[in-house]
Structure 1
Amino acid sequence: MNLDTIHRVYFVGIGGIGMSALARYFHEKGMLVAGYDKTPSLITEALMDLGIDIHFEDNLNLVDKVFLNAKNTLIVYTPAIPKNHAELTYFQTHEFEVLKRSEVLGVITQNTFCFAVAGTHGKTTTTSILAHLLAECHVPVTAFLGGISENYNSNLILKGTEVSVVEADEFDRSFLRLSPNVACITSMDADHLDIYGDASELVKSFNDFAKKVKPNGVLFVKNGLPINGITYGIEDDSDYSVQNIKIKKGTYVFDVKTPETILKNIEFSLPGRHNLSNALIALAMAVYYGCPHQQLANALGSFKGVKRRFTYQIKTNNLVYIDDYAHHPEEINAVYQAVREMYPGQKVLAIFQPHLFSRTRDFADDFANSLAQFDAVILLDIYPARELPIEGVTSEWLLGKIENDNKQLVAKNDLVQAVKNRPEKVIITIGAGDIGEEVKHLKKELELAI
């Protein structure tokens, strides 16, 4: 497909974080962009501020007629859209060019030097760090991020078109549409079993992704994963390794061993060993590309983070409120490790909104164990996203599995009231659903108590 012949792009599911990055990209390229999404959000609001027309009802009559001409119009959709969606069905049956988000990314990146970040955890933070490092080293890069970078207040970084940075998403096997020059795999924990059936199929898919790296390209893998590549790890014998870790005023200070040298006294401010690992692989990929070491060190020190990735909403001596996107047991464990490392001895309240009925069912015992580590737990109802309810799979059922005496189930509308006057001095909201929309209300209420 030749994108140069496209004048208009219509998005079915434009409010998704990956879809909205593409919408921004085509808008910046001067194309006419519009779309549909199920519900308004901060993301759709930001797109509409750019002049992009968006509606929230599945109704073909609401689509500007200029987009109903199949000639020179590209339709982009997300797999999260139901198969009976009226607008999508119309486009699919009326000679339009209709592509999944992953297919469009494949087309955009095929003629660039492509960095691809894969893994069941860490993709968004790693991609954002890598994009920032390359941008700060004046590499002509376009980066599509799965979150909002605090440095750029955007999920799109557009500094040139010779190099691309993308998340290689395992959901729906989307990452098999890419052919990267440099790729990494951060983790391969079981997830998306509604797509894969069992963990062995997921591992097979990651092996297939490894084969998509171009013949003269390179693959980095987290030490211990069952795939061959250049290894990286924390305080181990990997090809790239973080060593001599210290914490000074809430900032990591460490050395990085590369195959050629040791980079001394690197600083990085995102808490948690998982973020240290993300920083390492981003640094390793940029070093491999040939970026100057001192520029990379300075850039890593200036990285501010990604919204909803261990994001501080309140940070005072009396109260700390953190918000995080974690939605898998291993991610919750990483959040717990980070908060314990930064706030030893403090009581911590975790507020968790499970994401997907199938994921809650498949990992119920693991969720229960990861949540039980916190001093107190508040559960919200399961966020369904693309799924219908599964009989017997509820937050009340999950709550019963959590071995913690200080736990409760709260309706989302009652959350602010439930958190009033809590004794815990560290509070963290966790989840990938619409809990993110509650953060501003919770923050406002908590600030009154300071």
Structure 2
Amino acid sequence: MEVKDIHNVYFIGIGGIGMSALARYFHFIGKEVAGYDRVPSDITAGLEETGITVAYSDEEQEIPDAFRNPKHTLVVYTPAIPENSVLLHYFRAGGFRVSKRAEVLGYITADTFCYAVAGTHGKTTTSSILAYLLRETGTRLTAFLGGVSENFNSNFLIEGEEVTVTEADEFDRSFLHLSPDIACITSVDADHLDIYGSKAEMEKSFRDFSGKVKPGGKLIVRYGLPFEGVTYGFETAAAYGLENIKITGGRYVFDIRMPEGKVSGVTFGKPGKHNLLNALAAFAMAVEGGASPEKTAEALAGFKGVKRRFSYQLNTPEVVYVDDYAHHPAEIEAVHQAVREMYPGEKVLAIFQPHLYSRTRDFMKEFGKSLSGFDQVVLLDIYPAREQPIEGVTSEKLLGEVSHNNKQLVSKEALLEVLENTGARIVLTMGAGDIGVEVPRIRQILVRRYGIAL
């Protein structure tokens, strides 16, 4: 694909976090951009503010005239779009070039020095930290992120076109379209079994991804994973390691051990051992790509975070409210560890919206175990996303797997009563569905209940 030959780009599913970053890229380089999404959101509102046209009806008449010429129009879609989409059918039948988001991302990054972060957990935070570190140490880059960086206030950054940072998404084997110079694998827990069928098949896909690293490139890999590369982790045998970890003033202070030398007195502000590993992975990628270890370590202190990744909504003596994207048992356990480490002995209310019927079915017992660590558990109905209901797979059944009795299944509307009556000072919302839409309302309820002056 020659980008110079494309005048118009139409996105089917433009409101997705990854799709919107690509839309912003094409808009930035001067292409005409439009798209469709099922419902309005903060993301689509942000796109519309930049001049991008967004339609909310899957109908042919919604396509602007400028995007009806197949010779100069590229159509990008997300696998979350159903095959019976009217728009998808129109463009395919009309002879348009129709590509998945991952293919297009592969085209854009192919001729750049590409950093790519893969893993079933941690890739959004790690890639966001990496983009921030590279920028702070003088690299002009383009970054396509799977979340909104609180440092950039965006999921997209473009300050130079020779270096790119991107997530390498394992869903639908999308990451096999990339050819990175520096790649990282953070984790390979079983997930997306509706796509892969087994953990072994998923691991094979990650192995295939590791083979996509360009000749002379490097693979950074979490110590203990079954891949050959430069390792990082808490283990003393890891090439990049963490030592002398302390918590001071709600921030981590530690030393980083490198293959050659050490950097001492490093500070990092995001809670949780999983976030320490994300920071270490990003540090290793930057240094292996040529960045100064000392300047990179210094920059870690300034990383603010990613929206919906242990994102503080309220942090007061009366109440702490944290929102997180966690939608897999391992991610919920990571949030639990972070909360218990930062707020030992406090009562914690966890509000969780399961994401996908298939994931809930595949990890029913694991979800129950991970949620059981919280003092009070509130479940919302399963968010279906791209799926149809599966018989016997419900939030009610999942609630039965939680090992204590301080638990309930409620509607979104009933959350008000739960929040008014909980005795917990620490409140969490977790999930990858539309629970994020409820965050401002929950925050407002807590502010009113506790009389917090903002």
TM-score normalised to structure 2 length: 0.98
Q: How many residues align?
A: 450
After TM superposition, give the deviation of residue 423 of structure 1 in Å. Answer: 0.6
| Cα distance in structure 1, aligned partners of 2:137 and 2:28 | 22
| Cα distance in structure 1, aligned partners of 2:60 and 2:439 | 34
Equivalent in the alignment of 1:167: 167
Equivalent in the alignment of 2:387: 387
Equivalent in the alignment of 1:213: 213
After TM superposition, give the deviation of residue 297 of structure 1 in Å. Answer: 2.2
Equivalent in the alignment of 1:125: 125
- Equivalent position SS for 1:401: coil
Equivalent in the alignment of 1:438: 438
- Preserved contact between residue 33 and residue 52 of structure 2 (Cα < 8 Å): yes
| Cα distance in structure 1, aligned partners of 2:123 and 2:61 | 38
After TM superposition, give the deviation of residue 235 of structure 1 in Å. Answer: 4.5
Equivalent in the alignment of 1:416: 416
Equivalent in the alignment of 2:397: 397
| Cα distance in structure 2, aligned partners of 1:269 and 1:323 | 16
- Give ranges in structure 2 of 5+ residues lacking alignment: none
Equivalent in the alignment of 1:39: 39
- Equivalent position SS for 2:413: helix
Matched to 2:210, the amino acid is A
After TM superposition, give the deviation of residue 234 of structure 1 in Å. Answer: 1.5
1:306-356, Cα deviation, whole Å (9 max, x unpaired)? 000000000011110000000000000000000000000000000000000
Equivalent in the alignment of 1:247: 247
1:34-86, Cα deviation, whole Å (9 max, x unpaired)? 00001111111111111111011101101111101112111000000000101
1:228-239 counterparts in 2 under 5 A? 228-239=228-239
1:269-348 counterparts in 2 under 5 A? 269-348=269-348
| Cα distance in structure 1, aligned partners of 2:256 and 2:235 | 9
- Greater mean alpha carbon deviation, residues 327-336 or residues 397-406: 397-406
Equivalent in the alignment of 1:372: 372
- Preserved contact between residue 149 and residue 155 of structure 2 (Cα < 8 Å): yes
| Cα distance in structure 2, aligned partners of 1:92 and 1:310 | 41
- Equivalent position SS for 2:124: helix
- Equivalent position SS for 2:408: strand
| Cα distance in structure 1, aligned partners of 2:236 and 2:249 | 25
- Preserved contact between residue 421 and residue 449 of structure 1 (Cα < 8 Å): no
| Cα distance in structure 1, aligned partners of 2:113 and 2:207 | 21
- Preserved contact between residue 223 and residue 235 of structure 2 (Cα < 8 Å): no
After TM superposition, give the deviation of residue 421 of structure 1 in Å. Answer: 3.1
- Equivalent position SS for 1:267: strand
- Greater mean alpha carbon deviation, residues 290-299 or residues 383-392: 290-299
Equivalent in the alignment of 2:21: 21
Equivalent in the alignment of 2:356: 356
Matched to 1:421, the amino acid is N
| Cα distance in structure 2, aligned partners of 1:231 and 1:420 | 47
Equivalent in the alignment of 1:88: 88
| Cα distance in structure 1, aligned partners of 2:449 and 2:300 | 35
- Preserved contact between residue 235 and residue 243 of structure 1 (Cα < 8 Å): no
Matched to 2:132, the amino acid is H
- Equivalent position SS for 2:183: strand
| Cα distance in structure 2, aligned partners of 1:416 and 1:91 | 45
- Preserved contact between residue 350 and residue 376 of structure 1 (Cα < 8 Å): yes
- Equivalent position SS for 1:321: strand
Equivalent in the alignment of 2:103: 103
- Asked if 1:425 is matched to 2:417, the reply is no
| Cα distance in structure 1, aligned partners of 2:416 and 2:111 | 49
Matched to 1:425, the amino acid is R
Matched to 2:138, the amino acid is H
Matched to 2:433, the amino acid is G
| Cα distance in structure 1, aligned partners of 2:441 and 2:417 | 10
Matched to 1:63, the amino acid is I
1:114-172, Cα deviation, whole Å (9 max, x unpaired)? 00100000000000000000111121210000000000110001110010011000000
After TM superposition, give the deviation of residue 30 of structure 1 in Å. Answer: 1.1
Matched to 1:379, the amino acid is L
Runs of 4+ in structure 1 over 4 Å off: none
| Cα distance in structure 1, aligned partners of 2:239 and 2:378 | 42
1:379-423, Cα deviation, whole Å (9 max, x unpaired)? 000000000000010001111111111000001122223211311
| Cα distance in structure 1, aligned partners of 2:146 and 2:97 | 24
- Preserved contact between residue 416 and residue 441 of structure 1 (Cα < 8 Å): no
Matched to 1:84, the amino acid is N
| Cα distance in structure 1, aligned partners of 2:367 and 2:143 | 32
Equivalent in the alignment of 1:226: 226
Name the % identity. Answer: 60
